[in-house]
Amino acid sequence: MFYYDVNAAQTSNGSANTENQSARLLTVANQRTCAIMGMYVSARMTSAGGLVARLKTMGTAGTAGSAYTPGKRDPDAPAASTTAFTAHTVGSTPTVRQVVGVAAQGGFGGWFAATLEQAVILKPNGGANGNAEITNLAGLASVLFDLALEFAEV
């Protein structure tokens, strides 16, 4: 089993209470199963408010976006087969799998799967069982935040 991470500094939507895409994961043909093991969020604003990150699986995977190379937790691990994107087109038929909320003025929140059975599993070959999207929603406009995802290929 090999672990990888995706980290991105982002800004929520310029309009308060408007959901934005943060990242998208998609498996490829014949790869190992992807297990999303953790999602962490940290915001940094001077005004009181909140921000929520939602981890969703989609019935139809999103498309396009800017490719992002997942980092290897072990430098000797092979490159990740799971692909990561930002600024993507949203998929359809979402199922919210996990939610992390933080205070906008410097909060930190996170979720991690203590066991593999608690992970969000993405099957190989993309499609309805091999994709996930992370969105953000803030009560303030343009909240600065960092998003980190950890996943394993098992």
Please give the DSSP secondary-structure letter assigned to residue 78: P
- pLDDT band for position 129 (50/70/90)? very high
pLDDT at 64 over 90: no
d(C-alpha 30, C-alpha 27), whole Å: 9
pLDDT at 42 over 90: yes
With contact defined as beta carbons under 8 Å apart, do 30 and 154 qualify?
A: no
53's tokens: 């990150």
pTM, two decimal places:
0.95
Quick: pLDDT tens for 78-91. 999 999 998 788 99
Domain that holds residue 90: 2-153
* Domains of the chain: total: 1
